[in-house]
Amino acid sequence: MQTEILLAEYERKLILQRYSKNSILNYKSAVKSFLQIVERKFSSPDEIGVAEIEKYVFWKIEKHTISHSSQRMIVASIDKFYRLVVGVELNLNHLYPSRKTHSLPKYLSQNEIKKMIDLTTNLKHKCIVKLLYGCGLRLSELLNLKITDIDSGNMVVHIRNSKGNKDRVVMLSNQLLGDLREYFLQYKPKEYLIEGQGGGMYSEKSVQNVVKDAATRAGVKKRATPHILRHSFATHLLENGTDIRFIQQLLGHSSIKTTEIYTHITDISKSKIKSPLEFL
């Protein structure tokens, strides 16, 4: 099976449909994993039917204990691949999870995050933690930040082509701006705000390790990930009186229902919003 050729064609079709860079990466990654498994038995995707796809999804659930959202993404990616590349309409509706879990988002306390920041001596790593928490960024949003996205004149950070192909702005803390200026002088990034040692985009794994290591140094026993810092951003804003409707905008949620998992709506002027870094 010519997996790389198929994936390249899939990417081309997704670009034509104007999917965001991050969505394309996720869709391609899911289909690549699928094709790498089935190519051991089949020479072409035309030979693979619904029954084989069902076996694969079941294997992912049993072997990798994937979440409801991961299962939905995998099925959607394969479904889209068959429609766009193979030219086949498959009935995969029964493979989408019918029940969604409603667990509350996990988050860290303000004291735990303060310790993580204070005990992180590497300036680049400190900026990574502060960006994730202080701006409520998704991991992919952090990685895709360009130097030009930092608008110190208006004290905002521009988030471009995020989930759902949407742009938004979030507040820029004075504390974070000071660190970013020092970081810029020391590391001299060329294009992306946070770059690898040889330049170019920083890796997901590196960011995850930065957060994990910062939590370990701070003695945080809870699980600490980039997304948990994002949850903490929303939770601490809400605890400090920010209207959840504004938190919805800052997080880039399409629906208020997604944001309402944090708590009920409050009433406060958006002009009073400060980054939670200012509360530490």
Write out the catalytic residue numbers: 138, 163, 227, 230, 253, 262
| Token reading at 129 | 């933690």
Which residues in 85-234 belong to E strands, given as ranges? 150-151, 156-159, 168-171
3-state SS class at 202 = coil
- Cα Rg of the chain (Å, integer): 21
Cα angle, residue 89 at apex, residues 83 and 92 outer, rounded to 5°: 105
What is the rounded distance in angstroms from the CA atom of residue 91 to the CA atom of residue 81? 13
DSSP assignment string, 55-75? HHHHHHHHHH---HHHHHHHH
What is the rounded distance in angstroms from the CA atom of residue 66 to the CA atom of residue 4? 25
